[in-house]
Each structure stands twice: as structure tokens, then as C-alpha cells.
Amino acid sequence: MADFHYIARNLGGQQIDGTVSAASQRDALASLTARQLFPVRVELLEDAIEVQNQSARRVKPHVLAAFYGQMADLLTAGVPLLRSLELLRDKASDQSLKAVLADVQAQVAEGTSLTESLRSHPRAFDELAVSMVRAGEEGGFMEDVLRRIAMFTEHQEALRRKVLGALVYPSFLLFMGLGIVAAMLVFFVPRFEPIFARLAERGSLPQATVVLMAMSTILQDYWLLVLIAVGVSVVAIRRWMATEAGKLRFDGLRLASWKFRLGRNGPQIVLGAGELSRSLSLSRFCRILGTLLKNGVPILHALEIARDATGNMVLSRAIAEAAESVSSGRSLAVPLSVSGQFAREIVEMISVGEEANNLENVLIGISDNLERYTGRRIDVVVRLLEPLMLLMMAAIVTFVIAALLLPVLNMSSAF
């Protein structure tokens, strides 16, 4: 006798899952039929557990990109959705993706929408991909959406690799430098403590040296507490970011940029990637909204779907408020302008599109422009990463050296 996990429906159509003991799968099917249950899936309990474990894993981005592209090609060729999922499941070489697709296919076969089936595997399909698939289902342009997701996933993976490649050398130097600095703080700096103590009594110890000595003491005596504090902080921040308030705050920071001017008429320095994040989010929103409108979806329903494509809760809430204004008879451009989340030129273009009754094409044009602009800015940022990391390392080493040499120079000048 073996244990089988089953998913079945009763006479009322309600889905039931459980386990049944039988000599074979055929006997398990007969047992369920005798209980007036209609089997949807029956498999060995060990296999079911393995599938669950596999589907709980993350799927690599390049594997997902290939899946989206192949799915789009099959649907374009006229292959039904269920058959496409079956073909991709059988073809998949990645075991995690194979397990996920097996479950997605089973859910679709039971009548669940593709959007909800993908949403049940959040570690494989992120919210952005699910939102875009929902737009494709609602608007009838699934093939185009899947290709867009494939392109976006490939772009994200290429950008990640480019950034990692640019950071390999400076990161190695930075970590080596930090390691050397930590060793100096633990083993080398304490040897100067008697000298620094005498200078501190006379009140001639530089503030940089005081900070350096405090850091040395913390690393020597409280290193375990520092590690525990860092670990607890990381866990607490991740849990906070999983809440709605935390995600809203984090998404707000993603859109923020801090501008500083060196001197009254000096150059302006912008810190933060808010402009890039905003451009990417608005590009996705404009493309999805424009495509939905082009396919005849009413604007209120299109706004409800497209707002999730931003991948940012702050922008999503601003669009939701705009949708409420549109439902009361106002134009789309006015509430978007009031929200403060959309650039003035984008609002003006949307206003012109509404007046010319050509909003869908204007939105797609905005998306194309934002994508080109963001691509150029990302290339510049990637090129700047390496020198910035080197400057960071140089600043840390300079601080340590200055903190050690300043007291010595002060003593020399005193004599």
C-alpha cells in the first residue's frame, strides 16, 4: 500500500484535496470514484511533496525570460494555452520551473485564470509579471505582453550582470581595504592608545582620532554584539518592508532624489536613483494603459489594470486617485498633475492626447521616449559605479591614516 495525494471535486463542484492509501494509482482513482469524487490529479505523496518543494524555489531570471518568449511564440502560432503550458513543462530542463508549470497547468485545466495560477507562485513570478499577464488577459494581447515581460526580464538580468561586472574589481578592493582597516583597528591602533591617552588628557587629541579609537574599542570588545545587531536589523527591516506601510515607505524612497549644490553657484549633485525608478515605472504604466485602450478596454478598467504594472505602491495609489477623478467626469491629465508624481511634460502630452482623441498612441509614444531616456541614463550610472566605489575606499583609508598621523604631527609641532 502507498499513500497518494489527490485533488478532486465533489458533486457540488467544490475542490477537495487530501490523501488516500491504495496499492496503485488506478486503485486510488477507483477509491475516489466510489466516494463520488471526480479526480483532477492523483500522485504519490512523495512526488507531491517534491513538487511542492520544487515550486517553492526561485526560478532563475534567464530561465523565466526564455519561458515567456517561448510561451509568446506558441500562442502566436495558434497553440492553445493549456497545450502550450504542457509543451513548455515537458521541455523545461530547470526542475523548479518544471514543477511550477505542472501546477500552473493543473490550475488552468481546472478553470483558474492564468493570472491567478501565476500569482500562486510568488517566488517564481513577481507581482509586475502577474499584473502584466492580467493586462494581457483582459485586453486580449497576451502574446505582446509575454514578449514585453521576456524583454524586460532579459534587460533586468543584463543590467544586473553589467553592474556586477563593473563592481567586481572595485568591490574586491573595497572589501580588502575594509578588511585591512578592521585588522588595523583591532591589532594596530591599540598600540597607539597610551600615546593618544596622554594627548587626550591635555585636550589636544583630534576628533578624528577620538572616533577612530572608539571604533577600535567597539570592534575589540563588542564585535559579537555588533554582528547580532546587524543581523537583527536586517531581519527587522525585511519584515517591516513586507508590511503595507513598510512597502509604501520603501517605494517612496525609491522615487526620491536628493539634490545638493556645491557653493552658491557651484555644480548640482543629485543623489538617489529616484528619477530612473520613476521613468521605468511610468514607462510600463503608459505602455500597458495605451495598449489596453488601443484594444478597446474602457479607460477606468484599463487604469485599474495598468496601475499595478508600475511596480510601485506610491505611483499605484496616485493612479487610483486619478481613476476616481476620471469616474466623476474629469480628464486624466488633471489628477495626474495634482498628484505630483508625473513630470509636467508627460501630463501635457496626455492632455494633448485626450483633446485629440489619440490618447492610446500618445501613451505608447511616451513609453518609447522614457525607455530610450532611461537606457541612456542607466549606461551612465553603470560607468560611474567603479570610480565611486574606488573613491569610497580612498575616503575610508584616508580617514584612518589622517586619524593616526594627526596626533603624531601635533606632537612633532609641539616640540
CATH of domain 61-155: 1.20.81.30
Q: Which three cell numbers stand for residue 248?
A: 509604501
Helix (H) or strand (E) holding 122: none
pLDDT at 328: 80
Q: Provide the 10 A C-beta neighbour count for residue 312.
A: 28
CB 153 within 8 A of CB 132: no
CB 6 within 8 A of CB 32: yes
Distance in angstroms (rounded) separating the CA atoms of residues 94 and 204: 65
Distance in angstroms (rounded) separating the CA atoms of residues 196 and 404: 9
Q: How many helices (H) and strands (E) does the chain have?
A: 18, 5
Q: What is the DSSP string of 297-363?
A: --HHHHHHHHGGGG--HHHHHHHHHHHHHHHTT--SHHHHHHHT-S-HHHHHHHHHHHHTT-HHHHH
Domain boundaries, the chain: 2-54, 61-155, 173-415
Distance of CA 334 to the CA centre of its chain: 30
Q: Which three cell numbers stand for residue 5?
A: 495525494
Question: Phi first, then psi: what are they for 347, rounded to 5°?
Answer: -60, -40
pLDDT at 1: 47
pLDDT, one tens digit per residue, over 142-168 is 888 888 888 878 877 876 787 677 777
pLDDT at 267: 53
The CATH class given to the 2-54 domain equals alpha beta
Distances (CA, A) of 302 to 134, 200, 286, 318, 361: 11, 68, 11, 15, 15
CATH topology for the 173-415 domain: Receptor-associated Protein (1.20.81)
Q: pTM value?
A: 0.64
Distances (CA, A) of 238 to 126, 234, 290: 17, 6, 35
Least confidently predicted of 20-34, 84-98, 180-194, 374-388: 20-34
Domains 2-54 and 61-155 belong to one CATH topology: no
Question: Per-residue pLDDT for 263 more than 70?
Answer: no
Where residue 199 falls among pLDDT bands split at 50, 70, 90?
confident
Q: Provide the 10 A C-beta neighbour count for residue 180.
A: 14
pLDDT at 70: 92
**Among 353, 356, 375, which residue's Cα sits nearest to residue 290?**
353
Question: Per-residue pLDDT for 326 more than 70?
Answer: yes
pLDDT at 183: 82
